[in-house]
């Protein structure tokens, strides 16, 4: 049952396109996969009911080509478009264009995306909803002198962030006033070049924080949460390992964190799947809102594993006009899930991306194991898009068992023909600090520098 949607067009590629096709099929909805010339042989194209070539390999000419995507929808008679993550997923003008074309956008309204996409406006919205925010400037900074005194008052080090940024992009760190006056104008002109908007705001740097985020689902009136994920293991601000629940949260903090996320989503009458991201300071027990992502996230499966829900199906159902199918008290979490991101990168060689042809492939399975991916033997990984090949997700009754199961699943995984990040995870499983979840967002990078030999050694086994 998915309301009015009969045929869904997937405006994305890779593993998330495969994931969306599966959810649609489970709901009895037909699928149209749009693809670039470089993705004609992709697994999503093979799986979908119909496929439409929308242009050359470069994303700007295909997956970001709004006109080509809308034409494909018209040609195939699709009545809804799922944007996945990345590409046009958080492009408010695209959401508006889909609706203007008489189609359903699987996600929130263009206005909600616009509001949350302006990170400074989102901070204001969070404050209004009584959600704690990182100490920082009140919105976008006006004039460098005022900003410098604000930064002084907040206390160095501070981050200078692009209002139109997000996903870890457009961020500078200033250690003192001198650095701030050098970096702030630079950050602003860079933001203007990268995002077409030079607005920047200032936030205090929380030195040792965990990244914890709450999954929400709204139908435009009511909002429910599906507890939190912890994504503290990051390299260059990109997540590499995610867990649900967080091993660090006391139950009382978890309650107020989830309540805060729901309050913010309700305040903006949120519709669809979204994630409210926080920094959590272990020592003080404080959490701070950083941003809201108005899309399905890469790491959504860990939440699905502990809550027993298909979030992608739920967001399609909501887009089709259904009300929330679950009440908060029906949403229970059980056990522990871990996801690791398998990228086409060589962790022993500074994570050099390495497109290539997949040779032998052994997919892990068995109890509590899920592998969301887009691989098949002979598949030529194109060089034009991000390096994510798939996500290995495990579930078990408790974290200790989940770590053991991850080790088992990684031992079953084999992807030959190109380097992957699998050796990194085999190496990480030997870290006592990670086993104890004694980590923060800046833990992984120094660990990588100190453990390069261990990673090399773990790379010997093939994948």
Partner 1 sequence: MANHEVKSPIPGTFYRKPAPDQPPYKEVGDQVVKGDTLGLVEVMKTFHEVRADADGTLAAFPIEDAEPVMAGQTIAELD
Would residue 351 be called left, alpha or beta, if left means φ above 0 and alpha means ψ between -120 and 50 degrees? left
- Regarding 292 and contact with partner 1 (CB under 8 A), the answer is no
| Partner residues linked to 217 by β-bridges | 224, 273
Q: From residue 190 to residue 219, what is the string marking binding to partner 1 with x (rule CB under 8 A)?
A: ---x--------------------------
Residues 318-377 within binding reach of partner 1 (CB under 8 A): 344-345, 352-353, 355
User: Is 185 an interacting residue with respect to partner 1 (CB under 8 A)?
Assistant: no
Residue 295 annotated among the catalytic residues of the structure: yes
**Among candidate residues 240, 404, 424, the one with its CA nearest the CA of residue 336:** 404
Counting Cα atoms < 13 Å in the Cβ hemisphere of 41 gives 11
Q: Considering only 285-293, 378-386, 395-403, 414-422, which stretch makes contact with partner 1 by CB under 8 A?
A: 378-386
How many CB atoms sit inside 10 A of residue 329's CB? 7
Least distance in angstroms from the C-beta of 385 to partner 1: 7
- Rounded-to-integer distance, Cα 317 and Cα 217, Å: 11
Does position 167 interact with partner 1 (CB under 8 A)? The reply is: no
- The yes or no reply on residue 448 touching partner 1 (CB under 8 A) is no
**Gyration radius from the chain CA atoms:** 22
Q: Does 38 bind partner 1 (CB under 8 A)?
A: yes
Binding residues for partner 1, total number by CB under 8 A: 15
Query: Is 87 a residue that touches partner 1 (CB under 8 A)?
Result: no
Structure tokens at 156: 């160095």
Q: Is 157 in the site for partner 1 (CB under 8 A)?
A: no
For every residue of 302-369, DSSP letters joined together read: HHHHHHT--HHHHHHHHHTTPPPSS-GGG----SEEEEEEEESEETTTTTEE---B--SEE---STTE
For position 168 contacting partner 1 by CB under 8 A, the verdict is: no
The active-site residue, picked from 295, 341, 405, 426, is: 295
241 binds partner 1 (CB under 8 A): no
Nearest distance from C-beta of residue 354 to partner 1, angstroms: 8
Q: Out of 56, 132, 135, 335, which residue is the one contacting partner 1 (CB under 8 A)?
A: 56
| 271 neighbors 108 (Cβ within 8 angstroms) | yes
The site for partner 1 (CB under 8 A) is made up of 38, 56-58, 193, 344-345, 352-353, 355, 383-387
């Amino acid at each position: 049952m998915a309301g009015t949607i009969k045929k869904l067009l997937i405006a994305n590629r890779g593993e998330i396109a495969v994931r969306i096709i599966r959810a649609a099929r489970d709901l009895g909805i037909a699928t149209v996969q749009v693809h670039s010339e470089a993705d004609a042989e992709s697994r999503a194209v093979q799986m979908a009911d119909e496929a439409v070539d929308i242009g050359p390999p470069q994303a700007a000419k295909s997956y970001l080509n709004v006109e080509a995507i809308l034409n494909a929808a018209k040609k195939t008679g699709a009545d809804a478009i799922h944007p996945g993550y990345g590409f046009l997923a958080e492009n408010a003008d695209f959401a508006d264009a889909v609706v203007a074309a008489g189609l359903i956008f699987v996600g929130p309204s263009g206005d909600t995306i616009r509001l949350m996409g302006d990170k400074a406006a989102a901070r204001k919205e969070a404050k209004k909803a009584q959600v704690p925010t990182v100490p920082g400037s009140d919105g976008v900074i006006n004039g460098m002198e005022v900003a410098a005194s604000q930064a002084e008052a907040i206390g160095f080090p501070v981050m200078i962030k692009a209002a139109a940024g997000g996903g870890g992009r457009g961020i500078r760190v200033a250690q003192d006033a001198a650095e701030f006056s050098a970096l702030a104008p630079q950050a602003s002109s860079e933001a203007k070049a990268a995002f077409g908007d030079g607005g920047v705001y200032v936030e205090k740097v929380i030195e040792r924080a965990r990244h914890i985020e709450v999954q929400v689902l709204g139908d435009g009136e009511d909002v429910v949460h599906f507890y939190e994920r912890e994504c503290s293991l990051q390299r260059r601000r990109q997540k590499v390992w995610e867990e649900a629940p967080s091993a660090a949260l006391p139950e009382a903090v978890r309650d107020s964190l989830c309540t805060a996320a729901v309050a913010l989503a309700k305040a903006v009458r949120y519709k669809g799947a979204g994630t409210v991201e926080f920094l959590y300071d272990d020592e003080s027990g404080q959490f701070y809102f950083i941003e809201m992502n108005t899309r399905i996230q890469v790491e959504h499966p860990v939440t699905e594993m502990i809550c027993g829900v298909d979030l992608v199906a739920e967001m399609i159902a909501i887009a089709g006009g259904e009300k929330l199918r679950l009440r908060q008290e029906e949403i229970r979490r059980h056990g522990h899930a871990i996801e690791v991101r398998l990228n086409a990168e060589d962790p022993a060689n500074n994570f050099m991306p390495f497109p290539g042809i997949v040779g032998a492939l052994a997919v892990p399975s068995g109890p509590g194991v899920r592998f969301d991916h887009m691989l098949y033997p002979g598949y030529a990984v194109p060089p034009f898009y991000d390096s994510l090949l798939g996500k290995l997700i495990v579930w078990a009754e408790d974290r200790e068992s989940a770590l053991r199961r991850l080790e088992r699943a990684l031992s079953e995984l084999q992807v030959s023909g190109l380097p992957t990040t699998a050796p990194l995870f085999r190496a990480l499983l030997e870290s006592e600090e990670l086993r104890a979840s004694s980590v923060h967002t800046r833990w992984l990078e120094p660990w990588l520098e100190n453990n390069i030999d261990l990673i090399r050694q773990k790379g010997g086994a093939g994948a």
